[in-house]
Amino acid sequence: MSYLKLANENFENIKIQVERAMEQLNLDQLHFSPNEESNSIAIIAKHMSGNLKSRFRDFLTSDGEKPDRTRDGEFVGTFGTREDLLTHWNDGWTVLFQTLSQLKEKDLEQTVLIRNEPHTAIQAIQRQIVHQATHAGQIVYLAKMIKNEDWNTLSIPKGQSQKFNEKMMGISKKRRDPLVKKTGPS
Q: How far apart are CA 144 and CA 1, in angstroms?
A: 34
pLDDT in tens, 73-120: 999 999 999 999 999 999 999 999 999 999 999 999 999 999 999 999
pTM: 0.86
Contact indicator for 78, 39 with CB cutoff of 8 Å: no
| Per-residue pLDDT at 186 | 47
67, amino acid identity = P
Structural domain 3-158, CATH architecture: Up-down Bundle (1.20)
| Residue ranges covered by each domain of the chain | 3-158
Q: Which residue has the higher pLDDT, 162 or 60?
A: 60
